[in-house]
Structure formats: structure tokens, C-alpha cells
């Protein structure tokens, strides 16, 4: 009788998404905590989480009851998105991110999708729906990226791994 053995070694998608989930916990945002990992060829290039530019303020400390001010669309008017932080840090440090994969806990908004495409990121794996979070009917960022040839998938954990 043969016995099926699950592979105890997680795949890199699982490792990088788990890291993105942990990075999200670093965010000071009261509304949504989002993490991102930028990787290429099984190596991490950069990480990020959503929040205001370094050295400005922390939303949970400066606006503990309400969170930071919102713009006309209900989005944070002070913060950078997790993928923006990961991309900006990589570029600031001279990393080549063309052809990389972005792991993110929330699907990209349309503005971030334009940056992702412009930076020639090849693939995006996201955990949760931005459209559902914002209460809109369309995953605008995902549709934009797919329209212009970026591979985009909603993440599902690999076999044999519990996240």
C-alpha cells in the first residue's frame, strides 16, 4: 500500500506571500494594512507596507481615533501604498526590477497598476480583492495589468502548506 507524503518544503510563492502578510502587520494604518514583496529568481529585491513617507508621521499615533484624512475617493491622502514603497525602495537602491514578481496582500489600485506596468514587473500575485475592499464592481488595477500583458493571479496557497 503506497502512502502519499506531502512536501514539507513550502514553495517560494507561499514564502513570499507569508512575508507580505507579516509585513502588512508593520503598517500604522487604521483602515487597511497591506504588505508587498518584490522578488526575482527566488530572491527578494525589496519589501514594503502601506504608510506615510518615512519621517513624516504615523497615522495610528497622530490620528488614533479616526485614522488619517481621506481624499475625495475615500482613500488615504497621506500614505504610499505597499507596492509603491517596495518599488520606490528598490529603485532608490539601484535594483533592477524588470521581469520581477510582486506579491501583495491587496490587489493593486489603478494608480499602482500603472506604476507596476511602467516598471516592467512581469507578474503580480495578490491575496485579497481591492474592489471588494473599496466596494466597487471592478478590479480596475488587475484589468489594466492584464490588458497590457502583465500576468496577474489571485493567490492560493500551495499544497502541503498551511498559512
Rounded CA-CA distance 159/147 in Å is: 30
**Contact between residue 77 and residue 47 where contact means Cβ atoms under 8 Å apart:** no
**What is the secondary structure of 88-147 as a DSSP string?**
HHHHHTT---TT-EEEEEEPPPHHHHHHHHHTT--EEEEEE-HHHHHT-SS-HHHHHHHH
Marked catalytic residue, from 18, 62, 83, 153: 83
83 catalytic residue (yes or no)? yes
Q: How far apart are the first and last CA of the chain?
A: 30
Residues belonging to the active site: 83
Amino acid at each position: 500500500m503506497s502512502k502519499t507524503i506531502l512536501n514539507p518544503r513550502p514553495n517560494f510563492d507561499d514564502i513570499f506571500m507569508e512575508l507580505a502578510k507579516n509585513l502588512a502587520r508593520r503598517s500604522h494604518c487604521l483602515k487597511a494594512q497591506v504588505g508587498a514583496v518584490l522578488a526575482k529568481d527566488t530572491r527578494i529585491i525589496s519589501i514594503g507596507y502601506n504608510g506615510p513617507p518615512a519621517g513624516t508621521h504615523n497615522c495610528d499615533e497622530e490620528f488614533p481615533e479616526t485614522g488619517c484624512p481621506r481624499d475625495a475617493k475615500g482613500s488615504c491622502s497621506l500614505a504610499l501604498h505597499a507596492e509603491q514603497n517596495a518599488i520606490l525602495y528598490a529603485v532608490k537602491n539601484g535594483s533592477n526590477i524588470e521581469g520581477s514578481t510582486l506579491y501583495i496582500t491587496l490587489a493593486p489600485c489603478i494608480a499602482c497598476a500603472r506604476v507596476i506596468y511602467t516598471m516592467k514587473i512581469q507578474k503580480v500575485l495578490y491575496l485579497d480583492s481591492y474592489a471588494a475592499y473599496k466596494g466597487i464592481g471592478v478590479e480596475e488595477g488587475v484589468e489594466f495589468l492584464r490588458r497590457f500583458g502583465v500576468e496577474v493571479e489571485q493567490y492560493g496557497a500551495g499544497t502541503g502548506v498551511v498559512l
